[in-house]
């Protein structure tokens, strides 16, 4: 199909994989654009199928004329979101983790997201998972050979012991890989940091400083902020959403009450709370399990004061003047670094991947546990472990998730 379209529009089929200039025409011989065309005959193409590429001048009228001209061919329709990648996947050009990496790369906002996505696209996880899967299948073959070998149902231990050794090693290897991952899958969504505290302590002033623009209204009146205000920051390559909230206090104003309710809810969902307080205020107690840093603001108004110390970090800043902000930002970057656990080896970029690796570890553990009750049971658990990795790679049993995964892609990818 692609062959007849490129032949029809460019009046010739370009040499494979050679950028070729062509004046494109529609079926009425009307010229459309002076373009560069590329012809990738399958299977040596991104999708594995024939692919024609038209590099045209991107104006709306040019695109409309191109779509009209292409739609005039039979059996041609616009691609669905992610359809090219899906075909590449179905033709074995990519495994599912690599397809996920491609999607993440397209959506990456920050440098660390980009690097993580590229590692995934280049098969960082896929290659490990393939290796693990082959080794599990090999161990399972050993056990099954043992089962076949024994006629009375009593499998000789010298056949099972080496297989079990391999399974133990695999279990430890995958478990350790998983444990060392931090929350690298959270890098896709980023870290949420809520600025909370009593009214008028300078929360909105702080978010404006962090955003380097006036996102929130600042005023000397307590109760200025009511809606939750969000800004996206790129802190040393980490995606961080900072939210400014209403000052928390008892109030009879129903609008402010709603603001306080939202402030509490958002702070509870955040990954980190910056609890802003006046420089002289007593150290507040805080409930909840969210990590919370005490940030004392307006230090420009007091002469000197020593920190109270304690287990939670404490910062002293002047949001208005900028004192202490670079220390606060450095600490946020360190927090993000620990949180995401993104040493350059970040293996996992999705909860789906983490879940399947965990399933694999659990099945391997069970297979070790049940081998005493019967080798068939152990072999069955090994098959489960291999299936989990097969799902991770998108090689088995995945029809149900493919739609979900590829739906997130852009059209044209
Ligand atoms: N001197 C001094 N004033 C500050 C500082 N930070 C903020 N302010 C002032 O404190 C007042 C309140 O600041 P906001 O940023 O609106 O405080 P807020 O915590 O967002 O207040 P609500 O939205 O009402 O909860 C304003 O007049 C700011 O100019 C600071 O570091 N030093
Ligand atoms: Mg405010």
Q: What is the pLDDT of residues 220-257, one digit of tens each?
A: 999 999 999 999 999 999 999 999 999 999 989 999 99
Looking at the DSSP bridge assignments, the partners of residue 323 are 318
| 200 Cα–ligand 1 center, Å | 5
Q: What is the pLDDT of residues 322-345, one digit of tens each?
A: 999 999 999 999 999 888 875 556
Q: Is the pLDDT of residue 214 over 90?
A: yes
Give the Cα separation of 371 and 381 in Å (integer). 10
| 317 Cα–ligand 2 center, Å | 16
In ligand 1, the atom with minimum distance to the C-alpha of 206 is: 15
Which tokens is 11 given?
A: 């009046």
* 48 vs 150, residue with greater confidence: 48
* DSSP element (H, E) containing 407: helix 399-407
Predicted confidence band of residue 303 (pLDDT cuts 50, 70, 90): low
Mean pLDDT of 201-210: 96
Cβ of 411: how many Cβ atoms within 10 Å?
Answer: 11
Closest C-alpha to ligand 1, atom 32: 298
Q: For residue 99, what are the contacts with CB-CB under 8 A and spacing of at least 6?
A: 85, 86, 88, 89, 394, 405, 406
How many degrees, rounded to 5, is the angle at CA 405 between CA 402 and CA 406?
A: 85
Contact 244, 237 (CB under 8 A): no
Q: Is the pLDDT of residue 163 over 60?
A: yes
Mean pLDDT of 100-108: 92
| 286 Cα–ligand 1 center, Å | 21
Ligand minimally distant from the alpha carbon of residue 229: 2
Which tokens is 345 given?
A: 């080896």
Contact 204, 230 (CB under 8 A): no
Q: What percent of the chain has pLDDT over 90?
A: 68
Contact 84, 47 (CB under 8 A): yes
Lowest average pLDDT, out of 44-48, 189-193, 300-304, goes to: 300-304
Q: Which residues line ligand 1 (CB under 6 A)?
A: 199-205, 218-220, 222-225, 246-247, 297-298, 300-301, 318-320
Smallest CA-to-CA distance from 389 within 86, 172, 117, 132 is with 132
Which tokens is 340 given?
A: 């995401």
Give the Cα separation of 394 and 383 in Å (integer). 16
Q: For residue 93, what are the contacts with CB-CB under 8 A and spacing of at least 6?
A: 46, 47, 48
Q: Is the pLDDT of residue 307 over 70?
A: no
* 183 vs 122, residue with greater confidence: 122
> What's residue 289's pLDDT?
81
Mean pLDDT of 250-269: 91
Q: Determine if residue 205 is labeled as part of a ligand binding site.
A: yes
Q: Is the pLDDT of residue 288 over 80?
A: no
| 319 Cα–ligand 1 center, Å | 8
Q: Is the pLDDT of residue 305 over 60?
A: no
Mean pLDDT of 360-389: 93
> What's residue 286's pLDDT?
59
Closest C-alpha to ligand 1, atom 23: 225
Domains of the chain: 1-78 (3.30.1360.120), 111-185+347-408 (1.20.120.430), 188-340 (3.40.50.300)
| 217 Cα–ligand 1 center, Å | 10
CA quadruple 167, 169, 175, 178: dihedral positive or negative? negative
Mean pLDDT of 394-409: 73
DSSP class of residue 32 equals E
Closest C-alpha to ligand 1, atom 12: 200
CA quadruple 306, 325, 217, 336: dihedral positive or negative? negative
Mutation to probe ligand 1, out of 196, 198, 204, 247 (largest number of atoms < 8 A from CB): 204
| 253 Cα–ligand 2 center, Å | 16
Ligand minimally distant from the alpha carbon of residue 222: 1
Q: Supply φ then ψ for residue 139, to 5 degrees.
A: -65, -40
How many degrees, rounded to 5, is the angle at CA 219 between CA 216 and CA 224?
A: 65
Q: For residue 374, what are the contacts with CB-CB under 8 A and spacing of at least 6?
A: none
Closest C-alpha to ligand 1, atom 5: 320
| 321 Cα–ligand 2 center, Å | 17
Mean pLDDT of 77-92: 91
How many degrees, rounded to 5, is the angle at CA 196 between CA 333 and CA 270?
A: 55
Mean pLDDT of 37-47: 95
User: Taking all residues of the chain, what is their mean pLDDT, rounded to a whole number?
Assistant: 89
Closest C-alpha to ligand 1, atom 2: 298
Q: Is the pLDDT of residue 122 over 70?
A: yes
> Which residues place a Cβ less than 5 A from the ion ligand 2?
203-204, 224-225
Q: ipTM score of the complex?
A: 0.99
Instruction: Say whether the peptide bond before residue 150 is cis (omega within 30 degrees of 0).
Output: no
Ligand minimally distant from the alpha carbon of residue 224: 1
Q: What percent of the chain has pLDDT over 70?
A: 92
How big, in percent rounded to 5, are the helix, strand and coil portions of the chain?
A: 50, 15, 35
Contact 3, 53 (CB under 8 A): no
> What's residue 345's pLDDT?
63
60 Ramachandran zone, left/alpha/beta (phi>0; psi -120 to 50):
alpha
Closest C-alpha to ligand 1, atom 21: 200
Q: Determine if residue 292 is labeled as part of a ligand binding site.
A: no
Tracing tokens 């005490």 back to the chain, one arrives at: 294
Ligand minimally distant from the alpha carbon of residue 199: 1
Q: Determine if residue 219 is labeled as part of a ligand binding site.
A: yes
> What's residue 151's pLDDT?
63
Q: Determine if residue 220 is labeled as part of a ligand binding site.
A: yes
């Amino acid at each position: 199909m692609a062959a007849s379209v490129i032949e029809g529009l460019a009046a010739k089929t370009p040499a494979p994989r050679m950028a070729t200039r062509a004046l494109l025409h529609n079926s009425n011989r009307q010229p459309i654009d002076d373009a560069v065309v590329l012809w990738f005959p399958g299977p040596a193409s991104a999708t594995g199928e024939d692919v024609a590429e038209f590099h045209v001048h991107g104006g709306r009228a040019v695109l409309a004329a191109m779509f009209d001209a292409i739609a005039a061919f039979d059996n041609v329709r616009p691609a669905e979101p992610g359809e090219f990648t899906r075909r590449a996947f179905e033709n074995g050009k990519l495994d599912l983790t690599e397809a996920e990496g491609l999607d993440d790369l397209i959506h990456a906002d920050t440098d660390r997201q980009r690097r993580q996505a590229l590692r995934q696209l280049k098969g960082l996880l896929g290659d490990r998972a393939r290796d693990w899967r082959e080794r599990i299948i090999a161990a399972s073959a050993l056990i099954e050979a043992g089962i076949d070998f024994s006629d009375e149902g009593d499998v000789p231990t010298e056949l099972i012991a080496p297989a079990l050794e391999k399974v133990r090693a695999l279990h430890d290897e995958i478990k350790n890989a998983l444990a060392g991952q931090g929350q690298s899958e959270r890098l896709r969504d980023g870290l949420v940091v809520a600025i909370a505290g009593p009214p008028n302590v300078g929360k909105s002033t702080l978010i404006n400083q962090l955003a380097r623009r006036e996102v929130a209204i600042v005023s000397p009146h307590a109760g200025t902020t009511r809606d939750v205000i969000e800004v996206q920051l790129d802190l040393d390559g980490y995606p961080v959403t900072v939210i400014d909230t209403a000052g928390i206090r008892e109030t009879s104003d129903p609008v402010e009450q709603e603001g306080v309710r939202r402030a509490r809810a958002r702070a509870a969902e955040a990954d980190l709370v910056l609890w802003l307080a006046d420089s002289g205020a007593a150290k507040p107690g805080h409930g909840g399990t969210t990590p919370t840093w005490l940030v004392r603001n307006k230090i420009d108004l007091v002469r000197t004061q020593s920190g109270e110390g304690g287990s939670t970090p404490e910062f002293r800043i002047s949001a208005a003047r900028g004192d202490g902000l670079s220390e606060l930002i450095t600490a946020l970057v360190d927090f993000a670094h620990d949180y995401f656990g993104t040493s350059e080896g970040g293996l996992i970029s999705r909860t789906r991947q983490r879940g399947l690796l965990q399933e694999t570890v659990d099945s391997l553990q069970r297979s070790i546990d049940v081998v005493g009750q019967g080798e068939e049971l152990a072999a069955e658990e090994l098959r489960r472990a291999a299936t989990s990795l097969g799902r991770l790679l998108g090689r088995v049993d995945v029809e149900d998730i493919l739609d979900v995964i590829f739906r997130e892609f852009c059209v044209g990818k």
